[in-house]
């Protein structure tokens, strides 16, 4: 997390592998455009696209521009009703060049090296090169190897950094192998493993909430907190990502990365500074203190057909590129324990799923009940639960729910709420969340990126569930209707502890 001094990044060249892909057009290039609009890009920068398709730079940039224009017309998009500014776009487009090449061939990287030398003449970027791996994950190791062979990763005149997208491995063994492979040519401080949830303002705000206020942190422990629920509900299905999803599933796609980042922000000890390693060390401690999840504490589900937002949608097995008898999960819930002095005995319940009733990401902290004795001779037969809800997206904000006396002559309680909404307080510039991450990488701040040990510690926690699920295929899929809050087993997971999920 940077200190947000409003200074532009230093001159740089950014090489995007997977230039023709979805991620580049949906997130990376719009983020560069937003950074340029906010004055955070330097005078001189070069953007070099690399992909296997034969296309000219003009075709590439026109395609990206078209897509941005479409986004301005799409309802609910970050760009809705904001026309793309021609002069800003011209600066972005004017910085672009394109190389057609196969990521697995040394020859592509030799041409890239020559190209970067040539670009240094028209755009003095001071030897600073950011390689962005927005390609399919099977190419990550290969691309880093080839960059090393082409001698492109040597810090010397300027810096060399590599952003590696998600998924980082598909289990503990493969994550370790990938870390070991890239460590042969890249130093850890050149390696920026992305988890885009950390680019979200509301996720970064968890640290401000906890550590910049005097009154929350003293309550933030097992004396005062009963349990924590973390929900990442999505109403979308898997759209055109059937191939990716069939090989991945909800657990790998969301849990050891996005949900664990939310959990780590909530559960970590206060770091001593904003130094990247101070913060990442505290987060890693959380994962290391977690018990590996017992398979009996995890639930999986797959959506069948149903109604979402009043519209009939098909079941997962009917989606494009999905096997008609697929056993891949689209929903997962689990109970986790963090065995340290702050959290021992406080369960953390996590759930995420596709085709849930609506899009909502929240961290809900349930405080312990107050003693009832005072109210036993009054008409109050129960008190409402005290909650703090961090609404990560949409409707970003924080809500406190507590008891208040209902006006009148008898003693009666009502559950009331205090709300803070970002939209009321801050005039926020539209953002895709990647702006912060790209900018931080350009200025060398790795706080919001995952360190090797963090990634491995997170996989280790979920590995027993991956193993158990691989060994025993589910027999009851699909087990939740699209538009519902997940399978009954997810409710049972909390019911056996005498608790229930907050409604989605």
Q: Taking CB under 6 A as the rule, which mask of x and - marks residues 159-188 in contact with ligand BG6?
A: -------x----------------------
- With respect to ligand BG6, which residue has the nearer C-beta, 46 or 262? 262
- Beta-strand pair 12-17/129-133: parallel
In whole angstroms, how far apart are CA 252 and each of 171, 351, 363, 467, 493?
8, 13, 20, 12, 20
Cross-strand partners of 414: 404
- Provide the minimum distance between the beta carbon of 236 and ligand BG6 in the complex, in angstroms, as a whole number: 7
Interactions with ligand BG6, residue window 108-167 (CB under 6 A): 166
What's the closest the beta carbon of residue 76 comes to ligand BG6, in angstroms?
A: 11
Least Å distance, CB 145 to ligand BG6, is 25
| Alpha carbons 448 and 204: distance in angstroms, whole number | 9
Q: ∠ at Cα 28 (130, 205), nearest 5°?
A: 95
| Cα–Cα dist 211/267, whole Å | 12
Residue 234 within binding range of ligand BG6, rule CB under 6 A: yes
- Give the residue with the Cβ less far from ligand BG6, 245 or 501: 245
Output 93 or 206, the one with its CB closest to ligand BG6: 206
Closest residue to ligand BG6, based on beta-carbon distance = 253
Phi/psi of residue 454, nearest 5 degrees: -65, -45
Region of 372 (left: φ > 0; alpha: ψ -120 to 50; beta: rest) is alpha
Active-site residue, 258 included: yes
The footprint of ligand BG6 on this chain (CB under 6 A) covers a number of residues equal to: 3
Nearer to ligand BG6, 253 or 285 (CB): 253
**Alpha carbon separation from 140 to 134, 250, 341 (Å, rounded):** 9, 21, 39
Give how far Cα 78 sits from Cα of 31, 422, 500, Å: 11, 15, 34
Catalytic residue from among 196, 227, 258, 337: 258
Query: Contact at 8 Å (CB) between 133 and 168?
Result: no
Residue 391 to residue 231: CA distance in whole angstroms: 10
**Cis, bond preceding 232 (omega within 30 deg of 0):** no
Q: Which of residues 54-83 bind ligand BG6 (CB under 6 A)?
A: none
Of 51, 253, 285, 456, the residue at the interface with ligand BG6 (CB under 6 A) is: 253
Eight-class DSSP state of 316: G
Binding mask 268-307 for ligand BG6 (x = CB under 6 A): ----------------------------------------
Smaller CB separation from ligand BG6, 178 or 250 = 250
Phi, psi angles (nearest 5°) of residue 40: -100, 0
Task: State the SS3 of 181-218.
Answer: HHHCCCCHHHEEECCHHHHCHHHHHHHHHHHCCCCCHH
Alpha-carbon span 271 to 292, nearest angstrom? 24
- Quick one: 234 or 456, whose CB is closer to ligand BG6? 234
- Nearer to ligand BG6 among residue 234 and residue 396 (C-beta): 234
At its nearest, how many Å lie between ligand BG6 and the CB of residue 146? 26
Q: Please, what is the minimum distance in Å from the beta carbon of residue 165 to ligand BG6?
A: 9
Residue 386 lies near ligand BG6 (rule: CB under 6 A): no
- Least distance from ligand BG6 to the Cβ atom of residue 253, Å: 5
Nearest to 369 by CA among 415, 311, 433: 415
Site string for ligand BG6, 195-224 (x = CB under 6 A): ------------------------------
CB of 255 to ligand BG6, least distance (A): 11
Q: How far is the CB of 234 from ligand BG6 (least distance, A)?
A: 5
For residue 27, give the DSSP letter.
I
Peptide bond preceding 394 in cis form (omega within 30 of 0)? yes
Closest CA to 388 of 374, 401, 379, 407: 401
Q: How far is the CB of 251 from ligand BG6 (least distance, A)?
A: 12
Helices (H), 331-451: 422-425, 434-443
Under rule CB under 6 A, residue 362 binds ligand BG6: no
Nearer to ligand BG6, 234 or 440 (CB): 234
Q: Which is nearer to ligand BG6, 161 or 166 (CB)?
A: 166
- Which segments of 426-487 are extended strands (E)? 480-481
- What residue ranges bind ligand BG6 (CB under 6 A)? 166, 234, 253
Which residues are known catalytic residues? 258
């Amino acid at each position: 997390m940077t200190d947000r001094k409003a200074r532009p990044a230093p001159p740089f060249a950014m090489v995007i592998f997977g230039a023709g892909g979805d991620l580049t057009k949906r997130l990376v290039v719009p983020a560069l455009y937003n950074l340029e609009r906010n004055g955070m890009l330097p005078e001189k920068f070069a953007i070099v696209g690399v992909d296997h398709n034969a296309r000219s730079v003009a075709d590439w940039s026109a395609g990206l521009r078209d897509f941005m224009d479409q986004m301005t017309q799409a309802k609910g998009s970050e760009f809705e009703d904001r026309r793309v500014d021609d002069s800003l776009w011209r600066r972005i487009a004017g910085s672009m060049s394109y190389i057609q090449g196969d990521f697995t061939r040394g020859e592509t990287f030799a041409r890239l090296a020559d190209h970067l030398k040539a670009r240094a003449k028209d755009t003095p970027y001071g030897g600073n090169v950011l390689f962005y791996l927005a390609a399919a994950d099977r190419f990550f190791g290969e691309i880093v190897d080839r960059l090393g062979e082409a001698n492109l990763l040597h810090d010397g005149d300027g810096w060399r950094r590599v952003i590696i997208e998600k998924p980082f491995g598909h289990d503990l063994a493969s994550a370790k192998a990938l870390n070991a492979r890239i460590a042969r040519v890249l130093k850890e401080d050149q390696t920026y493993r992305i988890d885009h949830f950390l680019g979200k303002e509301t996720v970064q705000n968890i640290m401000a909430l906890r550590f910049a206020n005097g009154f929350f942190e003293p309550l933030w422990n097992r004396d005062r907190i009963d349990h924590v629920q973390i929900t990442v509900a999505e109403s979308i299905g898997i759209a055109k990502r059937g191939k990716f999803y069939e090989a991945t599933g909800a657990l790998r796609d969301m849990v050891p990365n996005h949900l664990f980042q939310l959990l780590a922000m909530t559960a970590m000890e206060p770091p001593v500074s904003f130094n990247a390693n101070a913060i990442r060390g505290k987060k890693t401690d959380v994962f290391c203190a977690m018990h590996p999840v017992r398979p009996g504490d995890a639930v999986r589900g797959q959506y069948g057909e149903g109604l979402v937002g009043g519209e009939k949608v098909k079941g997962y097995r009917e989606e494009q590129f999905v096997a008609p008898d697929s056993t891949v999960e689209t929903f997962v819930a689990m109970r986790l324990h963090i065995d340290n002095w702050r959290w021992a005995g406080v369960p953390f319940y996590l759930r995420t799923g596709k085709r849930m009733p609506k899009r909502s990401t929240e961290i809900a902290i349930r405080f312990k009940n107050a003693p009832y004795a005072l109210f036993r001779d009054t008409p109050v037969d129960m008190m409402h639960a005290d909650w703090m809800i961090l609404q990560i997206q949409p409707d970003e904000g924080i809500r406190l729910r507590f008891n208040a006396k209902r006006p009148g002559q008898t003693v009666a309680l009502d559950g009331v709420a205090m709300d803070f909404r970002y939209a009321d307080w801050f005039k926020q510039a539209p953002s895709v969340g990647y702006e912060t991450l790209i900018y931080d990488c350009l200025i060398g701040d790795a706080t919001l990126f995952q360190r090797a040990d963090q990634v491995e510690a997170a996989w280790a926690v979920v590995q027993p569930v991956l193993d158990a699920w691989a060994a025993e295929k589910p027999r009851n899929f699909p087990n939740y209707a699209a538009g519902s809050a997940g399978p009954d087993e997810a409710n049972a997971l909390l019911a056996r502890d005498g608790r229930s999920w907050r409604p989605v």
